[in-house]
Amino acid sequence: MNFTLLLTVAVSVCLIGILLRLYVWFSQGIHPPAATLTLPQRLAAAGKALGGALFGPRSITVLKSIFLDLLFQQRVFDKNTLRWIAHGLIFTGFLLLFFLHALDSLITERLFSDYQSTLDPYLFLRNLFGLMVLAGVAIAVYRRITLRPQRLMTYAGDWAALIFVGGIILSGMLLEGAKISSYSTFQRMLDDTGITDEQEIQALAAYWIEKNGLVIAHNPPAITPELVAQGQEISAGSCGECHAANSSAFVSFGLAKITGPLMASGEAGAVSFLWYLHILFCLTFLAWLPFSKMFHIISAPVSLIITRIMGKENGEPANVLTRQMIGLSACTHCGACSLECSSNMFFESFHNDFILPSEKVQFLKHIAAGKELDSATLKKLQQGLYICTSCDRCTNICPSGINLKELFVSSRYALLDRGIPETSMLSHFSFPLALAQSYTGDHLKALKVVEQLFRKSFTALADMVRPLTLERGGTFANPSYRSCYACQRCTNICPVVRSYDNPGEALGMLPHQIIFSLGIGKVDLAMGAKMIWSCSTCYLCQEHCPNQVELCDIFYGLKNAAIARIEEGGRS
């Protein structure tokens, strides 16, 4: 198939993909709802912010970000030297190959008037850059394999990126190695130099066989020192302006030594095959780039500059939405956030992949796009979003500069907008409540929904007809409540109880009443008490109980049981 046609198709697909990505940046978002802002509004807000960054007082910050975040990769360097080396090798080597080899007719020839791809230093540098990329890919593969036990997840797309990058370099080196040993390539060189004398051809062939890796399957010349010396002289006079010693391509030359004898009989077909293979890798990668995680080579620099300029401030809602979408597309799924996550111990207990930050990010793209997801997946995602200590370590360590904390908090409220209640919001010390200053209206609305769920599911002490009767069969997992003899020391020492003028009305039940209700078999009554959600878990009650009743642990158990009851559909 015509190369120009293949290139046109690949470039067209790539450009369409980039335009689609840009459209997603400025049309989708997680929270606030993206539908409230039009595409022109989003573009206008971004343009205004861009102008202010480039031509305002923050222009120095932009330059600082380019050098520190993009070129030096300071975030990666500060956290993991091995990963910084891998990233630097791949990024630098691939970029230099792209501009100085793939675009040599547009860039290298204009920079260097004597440029020939078969001359030094270009022959040597091409192999050096390729080896840099392969070394970086090898380190990346090593990390993917060795860090898997440390919660580093790997998807097919992650391997595909490494395979494409490695395939481009390896196929290029094999192609160059095949050309080194190819007799057809040697004949084309003869045609270019105009050498027709048979004796000179024999001498030149002897020199190229001996020194430059040429393989001639049929009727090779007899190799003698004299003939090689004659061929070297002819090569210097006729070929030296366009061809350096093939040994300068140290990797490809080594491959030619290995593969040359294997494909000597069909070298022309082998060169053609490797050329198509190399072009297939390159053009497929080009077309695939905007639809894969490799698009981070565009979005990650943008994300890093935005983070350097905006910091963690919320800013204009339109730009917050755009920053969220740029962040999602900038994720490389490197797993750095998951390796450092302070909620990892919960992952070991719940076995929910969405507890890991890197896995949440992958799925939030569906939330941003407004896609319908099954209830089981949404529930697991919501659990993962709420099991978070808000340490913000993930944001600080992200090499792409993604504001992960903002993404996760926004996603919580986006799911709540879909009508999915989060029962843990009842806790006065829950993380979402700590962020109510940013989402006051959303938080209070969601809190009322959850409170109504609990009112429907459990009966409050104030609504029950008294006196209460003893029930049989109402047991609780923690049996220490049986030791209670109603001294009320837990209630008297509780700082939460003392913070209310009328704690019985505000909390529904006092600590000693909760324990007493368990003693008479009223487990449902204990689960519906507001007190268990207001508990500050200071453990004063448990530490001062004369009979070692484990009140705080019991309250945790009651909360978990109450949440499980709600998620199972309430009272049967």
Which pLDDT value is given to residue 475?
Answer: 66
Q: Is the model more confident about 27 or about 431?
A: 27
Q: What is the mean pLDDT of the chain?
A: 87
Percent of the chain beyond pLDDT 90? 40
pLDDT band at residue 252, thresholds of 50, 70 and 90? very high
Report the number of secondary-structure helices (H) and strands (E) in the chain: 31, 0
Please give the average per-residue pLDDT across 372-395, as a whole number: 84
Please give the average per-residue pLDDT across 237-262, as a whole number: 86
Closest CA to 155 of 14, 406, 365: 365
List of residues 6+ apart from 497 with CB closer than 8 A: 491, 503, 507, 510, 511
Plot region of 152 (φ>0 → left; ψ -120 to 50 → alpha; else → beta): beta
Q: Is the model more confident about 7 or about 350?
A: 7
pLDDT for 467 beyond 50: yes
Which pLDDT value is given to residue 432?
Answer: 53
pLDDT band at residue 257, thresholds of 50, 70 and 90? confident
Which pLDDT value is given to residue 572?
Answer: 40
Q: What is the pLDDT of residues 260-302, one digit of tens each?
A: 777 666 677 888 899 999 999 999 999 999 999 899 999 999 9
Which pLDDT value is given to residue 151?
Answer: 63
Q: Is the model more confident about 251 or about 374?
A: 251
The full DSSP string for 420-445 is: ---GGGGSTT-HHHHTTTTSHHHHHH
- The CATH number assigned to the domain with range 461-567 reads 1.10.1060.10
Torsion of CA 15, 20, 22, 28, to 10 degrees: -170
pLDDT band at residue 570, thresholds of 50, 70 and 90? very low
| Peptide bond between residue 357 and the one before it cis (omega within 30 degrees of 0) | no
Task: State how far the Cα of 535 lies from the Cα of 441, in Å rounded to an integer.
Answer: 24
Closest CA to 523 of 453, 465, 571: 571
Percent of the chain beyond pLDDT 70? 93
Closest CA to 259 of 339, 364, 206, 181: 181
Q: What is the largest CA-CA distance in the chain?
A: 120
Which pLDDT value is given to residue 463?
Answer: 73
Structure tokens at 188: 């084309």
Q: What is the DSSP letter of 508?
A: S
List of residues 6+ apart from 444 with CB closer than 8 A: 436
Instruction: Collapse the DSSP code of 222 into the 3-class scheme (helix H, G, I; strand E, B; otherwise coil) and give the result.
Output: coil
Please name the amino acid found at residue 244. Answer: A
Task: State how far the Cα of 279 lies from the Cα of 319, in Å rounded to an integer.
Answer: 39
pLDDT band at residue 541, thresholds of 50, 70 and 90? very high
Task: State how far the Cα of 6 lies from the Cα of 285, in Å rounded to an integer.
Answer: 12
Q: What's the whole-model pTM score?
A: 0.80
Which pLDDT value is given to residue 76?
Answer: 86
pLDDT for 327 beyond 90: yes
Q: What is the pLDDT of residues 298-318, one digit of tens each?
A: 999 999 998 888 777 677 889
559 close to 533: Cβ distance less than 8 angstroms: yes
Which pLDDT value is given to residue 61?
Answer: 85
- Residue-range domain boundaries for the chain: 335-420, 461-567
Q: What is the pLDDT of residues 501-514, one digit of tens each?
A: 999 989 989 999 99
Task: State how far the Cα of 492 lies from the Cα of 498, in Å rounded to an integer.
Answer: 8
Task: State how far the Cα of 348 lies from the Cα of 252, in Å rounded to an integer.
Answer: 47
| Peptide bond between residue 33 and the one before it cis (omega within 30 degrees of 0) | no
Which pLDDT value is given to residue 291?
Answer: 93
Q: Give the CA count within 13 Å in the CB-facing half-sphere of 320.
A: 21
The full DSSP string for 380-394 is: HHHHHHHS-----HH
Q: What is the pLDDT of residues 88-125, one digit of tens each?
A: 999 999 999 999 999 998 999 999 988 989 899 999 99
Please give the average per-residue pLDDT across 143-149, as a whole number: 77
Closest CA to 334 of 390, 387, 401: 401
Of 80-94, 165-179, 468-482, minimum mean pLDDT range: 468-482
Q: What is the pLDDT of residues 156-200, one digit of tens each?
A: 888 899 999 999 999 999 999 999 998 888 888 888 888 888 888
pLDDT for 436 beyond 70: no
Task: State how far the Cα of 370 lies from the Cα of 34, in Å rounded to an integer.
Answer: 10
What's the CA angle centered on 124, arms 121 and 127, to 5 degrees? 140
Which pLDDT value is given to residue 553?
Answer: 92
